[in-house]
Structure formats: structure tokens, C-alpha cells
Structure 1
Amino acid sequence: MIAQHYKDMLSGKSVIRQISEWSTARGAEIGYENVFDYSLGNPSVPCPAHFTQVCQQLLETREPVALHGYSPTLTIPSVRRAVAESLNRRFGMDYTENHIFMTTGAAGALAHALRCVAVPGQDIITFAPYFPEYKPYVEGAGLNLKVVAPRVEDFQIDFDAFEAMLDENTAAVLINTPNNPSGAAYSAQTLTGLADRLRAASARFGHHIFLISDEPYREILFGGQPIQYAAKFYDDTLTCYSFSKSLSLPGERIGYVAANPRCEQAEWIVPMCGQISRGTGHNCPASLIQLAVAECIDDTSDLSVYETNMELIYDELTRLGFTVVKPSGTFYIFPRALEEDANAFCAKARRYDLALVPGDSFGCPGYFRMAYCIDTGKVRRSFAALERFVREEYGTRG
């Protein structure tokens, strides 16, 4: 007998992936260079040459059986130490290797973090707009996802709505900053307000409410603004990170969980992650990639193209009359659609070979996401199609 639950999930496949698949199929018909595919958040810049060189050096100099063997249950100590030291240098923290657990990307980090701080039946609160895969991540751990409605004027937190949702069944709050899909980064004021309310709620309900901070876009910030590191604001924080965006390595599936050394029972988080791996079949990310990222820990790809693309698209969208909050980071922008039904809006856009993602699955109906991690020349070329779409479907604008 098959597991009906997972069969049922087939009817709710990722909208992002479905539109990406449409783009690929359409590209086979007319040439992919003629499809303006803003669907999938796949980095468009290469990894640093240093990362490639490190991989080559490891392959040439390390003994193959050791290099390709199983890593320790708690992942490679020297790698965990490198991550801890980098976070300490950059953010004034005091992590040790005992607070770091390497994972298969941010998804693996979230799978571990959720299971560390919540038991089946408890609630995880997040804020719209949110990454749609949070729902299967949370529900797959036997937990309930509760979503606070968006504050659409700036995509910071509506604290009144948040406090109304907090109760004794709240185990953790899950944030994503900078945010997919809005591109908004939480300000120091927002993180201070969040921390104050979590401390008060923890005292009121008699248990620690954790903050799980999902930070795969941490390095992609615009205008030279500083990174607001959530764990600096609130002790009971587990930070989930991926090198997929900073080093352009999504296919290598490498990230980590970092437990704030001052969080509740901090010394147990990493050993617990080792046991969670046993139950989920995680069993450590690739040894080669762990070792390679440790040598490139403070490197990034050339991320400047994302800011260039953002400025171009933001200016074009505003010229055409869209309402849109200017992104602070990431490689996403999240405008309001030109009609109430964003699904209908995005379906019409496909007639003009524009692949846009409706905001419903992000918990924000009426909006749509554009992932602008594509070649800048193609961004510019897409504007003729975008203008024609707007003019023919909604009348002259701009």
C-alpha cells in the first residue's frame, strides 16, 4: 500500500516549478533566449574561481578514501570551526564548533531546526509573504504553520497581528530575511520589536519560544546597508544558512544550523541534530563540499549584477504604473498585479512569453514575484514584452 499523503501532494506541486517547466517547454519551441523567464531563483553568476581551485586541490592532494569517506555524525569539526570563527568575526558572536551543524542547504538546516525546538502538534508562526516550501517543511515535521498577514506597505512585521496569533502552543517563529519573495530585509527596529515580544511571550507562556532565522540571501543586500544578524537581537535563535546564493552553489546542497550559544540548552542542539539526521536519513552533506566551503568561508560570487538588475526592473515597473516596494536585497521583486487575480494576470503574461509567479502560494494574493537572477541583457530585452503586455491587456501606462 502506498503512502496516500505523498500521492495527494502531487496535486499541489510547486507553482514556481510548474511555471519554470512551462518556460523550458516554451523555450524548446521558440528558443529559450526568447522566453523571459522570471520564475526560478537559480543564481545566474558563477561560483568564485577560488572555490573551483580549492575543489581541484582537494581532489589532487587528499587521499581519496579519506576525502570521499563518511564525515562524522556531527559533520566535520574543522568545517564547523571555520563557520563559527567567520560568524564571530563578522557579527561579534561567540560560537564554537559545538554550536554549528553542517546540512544539505538551508532546507536541511530548517528540517533540523524545526525538530530541535518543537514537538508534533505545536505551532510555527511565519510572516507573509513567505517561501511556499515552508508549509511542507513544517507539516512534514508534524507541526502546524500559522501565517501572519503581510504589511504590504513595506513588508516589515505587523506586530498587532503577530501578537494576536501568539499563544501557549507556539513553539517557534520562522523568519526569512532578506525575504523571498519580497526582497525586504528586516530592519534593526523590526528585529528589536520581534525580540522584545518573543521574550515577553516566553515569560507569559512559561516556555522558551525560539526564533528560526532562515538566511540564504544574507549576503545579497543593496546600497551598502549592513547585515542585521537576527541572533544578535534574540538569544533563543537558530540560524539556518545556505551557500547556494552567496557562492552560487545551489546544486551542491551545503549549509548549516548555528545555535546561539546563549539559547536554551545550547550545548544539546548540535548533538540533537545528529540524532535528527538518523531519523530523517540526512546523514551528513558531502565531505568534499564541506571542506571546500571552509576554505572559501568569507568569499562570495560577484553578486553586484543582482543590484543592477533590481534597479533596472524597479524603474521599469514604476514607469509602467505598478505598485512595488523597492527590494533591499535578494534577487526577487514582488509587485502588485494589475488586477485582483494574480493567477489570471500571470497567465496573461505568458501570452507574451513572460514567466511570472503569482503571489497566492506566498500567502499574498494579488501580487506576483519576479526572480531577476538572469542576464542583464535579457532583463533589458524583456521590457518590450512587458510594456506590450501591460498596454494590450490593461491599457496605456507610463
Structure 2
Amino acid sequence: MSLISAEIAGYLEKSSWIRKMFEAGIALKKQYGEQAVCDFSLGNPDLPAPPAVGDALRTMAENAGKPFAFGYMPNGGFQWAREALAGQVSAEQGMPVDAGDLLLSCGAAGALNAFFRAVLEPGDEVLAVAPYFVEYGFYVSNHQGVFKTAMSRPETFELDIEAVEARITPKTRALIINSPNNPTGVVYSREELEALAALLERKSRENGRPVYLIADEPYRFLSFDGVKVPSVLPLYPFSVVVNSFSKNLSLAGERLGYICLSPLMENRAELMAALTLTNRILGFVNPPVIGQHVMAHALGSQVDVGVYAQRRDAMAEVLSGAGYQFSMPKGAFYFFPKAPGGDDVEFCRVLMEEKVLAVPGSGFGGPGYFRLTFCVDEEVIRRSAGGFARAMAHFA
């Protein structure tokens, strides 16, 4: 007699490779000790939060006894928090954004679930560019949607507009992009996004309803070598930006994010009203009070991205030295090299025997590759060189 639904049983069967490898890492560290294991499985930022975060927490602690310090709020978050955020988002996105275009949420995951609950009819399709963050499919299924993917270009992972077009149907309701990308580190260019916007404009007209473009941007702050991260909001009226503060402020456990609608979207007040409702009825109720105070105080601050740049160079040196094939990431904190032998699951098993933890690319819709996160100390990266070399030799 099963205690859970068949749908959730299926989810458990194909649950995230990220978590599987992370949990395997815990077991290895327990068996061999922390210093014996090089864990590149989980994108959990390890840099200290910027000083403004500590300042905000101290202020909150000093005022914790006051009756107005905590409590319920409007479902989209405090108005003063949204107004403060609107200024920063306007600067980042290159166009004026009003507080009414923003809704604060319980992380980017909460924002995506609120959005899908608001716009999807049963059977509607949501398309993602692969490789993609694995949780997208679960979020879509939560709200009776159908998750589909379109592959990016081999090896470079640039947008393949023709592949996207081939996957769009009259049931397509939204397309998700993630740039800078997890797991590939690619940053989509303005030219690619303009071509994508033109395609979605045409398909929206043909389908008689909008195909939303969702830009998931938790790594917007982290790009390298002078690469700019273009904004979708000015390019397409039915564009939506989702973001969080888990990476740029090292607040991964605080669960504070937001969704922003393009100011070019007509009748967007109707969609924002729906989002405000779904943000509540899904059980998230409100974004964290403490998180909103921290966010407002820390706007304009971020972790030291120079540290990530140094780690990227160290990881590239280790991989190149062992003979791996990879594209240098332009943003985010991931490498996505080719798996020697072509079987990414088998390669990650061999790598684990060397006490090096990576995630098979199959978990991201990118078989034949594997993901490494470099949000770990540089010493760990350099200590892994021997393990990477021995794993490569296994397939020689």
C-alpha cells in the first residue's frame, strides 16, 4: 500500500542528481574526512555576505522588541521594500521599473511557482532551453503544465533559435531562459535575445495569446571578462524577470526573491493581481520580514566577485592540465566539461572513486557533460588536480 501519490513517486525516482551527489559527498566526508573529499556538487555560495547584511541584522536585533518589527504585510511584500528594490532593478534592466511592477517572493522558486499558478491552464506547455536547472520541470508539473525542452547549440551552448521554434506549439505558454546559465556558464548575447524576442512576438500573434519569456537571473551579478548581461525587459513586452538574493548577497537560506513584469506589458496590473493572489494561496503567504529589511539595507552591495574570478582561473588550470574539453564560463560559478568516454553518469562514478564530486549533465538535460561548481575554496580546487587526472587516465 503506497503512502504517496504516483506522481510524487515518479519525481522521487528521477530526483535531482545535484542532491544525490551532495548527499554522497556527506557520506564520503564522514568516511574519509573533510580534507580528503573535493565536493563540487552543490551551488551553495561560501563567500561571506557583504558588511551591509550584518549591519541590517544588528539593526533588526536592536528593534526586535518593538511591536512593528515583525508582522503580516501586503501579499507582495512591504511597499517600502518594493520601492527600494525598484530603483536597483531599473538600473540593472536599463529601463524604469515601478514598485507596482514588482512582487517579492519566497525565493526565485516561489516566484516561478506563483507565476505558473497564475498563467497555466491544464496541459499548457512551458519550454526551457537545455541544459537547464532541473527543478523547472517540477515547478511546471506542480500546476498541471507540460514541461518541454529545446537544446542549445552543441559545445558553445548558445541559443538555437531554430530549435526553439521547432518546439513551440499552440499550447506553449512560456519559455524559460537562465543567463548567466546554470550549468553551462554561458551568457546569451543581446543579438540572441533580440532574435528570440522576434520569434516569440510572431508566435504570440499566431497563437492568439502571449508566449511569456521568463528570464531566471540569480547570477546576473556574476559575469567575467567584461561580458555584459543584457536585459529582456526592453526587448519583449511579455517578458518577466525572476531573481533572488541567494547568490549576490550569499543569503541562500533566507528565501527572498522577486518577480518583475516588463513595463511594456499592457494590462500587466491584471497579471500582478493574479501573482499577488497566488503568492498567498500557495502557502508562501509573504516573503520573510527579516529578508526584506536585509535586502533594502544591502541594495547596491554584493559579494566579492573577484574571488570567483580567481577560482574560475584555478579550475580552468586544473581541467586543462588534466586534458578535459570545456568552454570557459562567461558567468555564474559553474564549469560544464565534456565527460571522458561520453557517459556522464559513469564518469561521475569514476570521479567519485577519486573522492571528487561532480554532477552528471544528464540531470540538466545535457548528457555527455558534467557540472562542477567553483563556489568552493581555491585550495579545494587545486587539491582536486590529482583526482581529475586519474579519472581522465581511466578513460585513456
TM tier, shorter chain?
over 0.9
Question: Which amino acid is 2:114 matched to?
Answer: H
Give CA deviations for 1:246-297 in whole Å, capped at 9, x if unaligned: 0000010111001112114211232211210233111011112112101111
1:208 aligns with 2:210: yes
**How many angstroms apart in 1 are the aligned matches of 2:246 and 2:383?**
27
Question: Which amino acid is 2:395 matched to?
Answer: Y
Q: Match of 1:122?
A: 124
Q: Match of 2:310?
A: 308
1:388 aligns with 2:390: yes
Residue of structure 2 aligned with 1:95, choices 97, 109, 112: 97
Q: Match of 1:161?
A: 163
Give CA deviations for 1:368-387 in whole Å, capped at 9, x if unaligned: 00011100111111112211
The 5 Å alignment of 1:1-398 reads 2-4=3-5, 5-61=7-63, 63-391=65-393, 393-395=394-396
**How many angstroms apart in 2 are the aligned matches of 1:174 and 1:185?**
14
Q: What secondary structure is seen at the aligned counterpart in 1 of 2:341?
A: coil
**Could you list the runs of 5+ residues in structure 1 that have no partner in the other structure?**
none
Question: Which amino acid is 1:29 matched to?
Answer: Q
**How many angstroms apart in 2 are the aligned matches of 1:72 and 1:86?**
21
Give CA deviations for 1:335-360 in whole Å, capped at 9, x if unaligned: 11001211001001111001011011
C-alpha displacement of 1:2: 4.4
Check whether the contact 1:113–1:238 (CA below 8 A) recurs between aligned residues: no
Question: Which amino acid is 1:394 matched to?
Answer: F
Give CA deviations for 1:186-245 in whole Å, capped at 9, x if unaligned: 111111111111111111222111101100111011112222112122121111001000
Check whether the contact 1:337–1:368 (CA below 8 A) recurs between aligned residues: yes
**Could you list the runs of 5+ residues in structure 2 that have no partner in the other structure?**
none
Give CA deviations for 1:77-135 in whole Å, capped at 9, x if unaligned: 01111111111233332211111110111111111222333222111111110011111
**How many angstroms apart in 1 are the aligned matches of 2:204 and 2:279?**
28
**How many angstroms apart in 1 are the aligned matches of 2:92 and 2:24?**
41
**How many angstroms apart in 2 are the aligned matches of 1:194 and 1:46?**
37
Check whether the contact 1:113–1:212 (CA below 8 A) recurs between aligned residues: no
C-alpha displacement of 1:22: 0.9
> How many pairs are equivalent?
394
**How many angstroms apart in 1 are the aligned matches of 2:140 and 2:149?**
12
**How many angstroms apart in 2 are the aligned matches of 1:116 and 1:165?**
23
Check whether the contact 2:126–2:147 (CA below 8 A) recurs between aligned residues: yes
**How many angstroms apart in 2 are the aligned matches of 1:27 and 1:289?**
32
**How many angstroms apart in 2 are the aligned matches of 1:92 and 1:8?**
42
**How many angstroms apart in 1 are the aligned matches of 2:237 and 2:300?**
24
C-alpha displacement of 1:33: 1.8
Bigger shift: residues 349-358 or 301-310:
301-310
Check whether the contact 2:82–2:99 (CA below 8 A) recurs between aligned residues: yes
C-alpha displacement of 1:62: 5.7
Give CA deviations for 1:122-180 in whole Å, capped at 9, x if unaligned: 11111110011111011111101110023123111111111111121111111111100
C-alpha displacement of 1:302: 1.1
Check whether the contact 1:99–1:269 (CA below 8 A) recurs between aligned residues: no
**How many angstroms apart in 2 are the aligned matches of 1:346 and 1:63?**
51
Q: What secondary structure is seen at the aligned counterpart in 1 of 2:68?
A: helix
C-alpha displacement of 1:52: 1.0
Question: Which amino acid is 2:42 matched to?
Answer: L
Aligned Cα root-mean-square deviation (Å)? 1.5
C-alpha displacement of 1:70: 1.4
Check whether the contact 1:47–1:248 (CA below 8 A) recurs between aligned residues: yes
**How many angstroms apart in 2 are the aligned matches of 1:7 and 1:56?**
44
Tell me the TM-score normalised to structure 2 length. 0.96
**How many angstroms apart in 1 are the aligned matches of 2:156 and 2:342?**
19
**How many angstroms apart in 2 are the aligned matches of 1:262 and 1:63?**
43
**How many angstroms apart in 1 are the aligned matches of 2:130 and 2:94?**
30
CA 190–31 in structure 1, closer or farther in 2 if over 3 Å, else same: same
**How many angstroms apart in 1 are the aligned matches of 2:330 and 2:198?**
24
Question: Which amino acid is 1:153 matched to?
Answer: E
Check whether the contact 1:117–1:210 (CA below 8 A) recurs between aligned residues: no
**How many angstroms apart in 2 are the aligned matches of 1:297 and 1:268?**
28
CA 166–8 in structure 1, closer or farther in 2 if over 3 Å, else same: closer
Check whether the contact 2:41–2:357 (CA below 8 A) recurs between aligned residues: yes
Question: Which amino acid is 1:128 matched to?
Answer: A
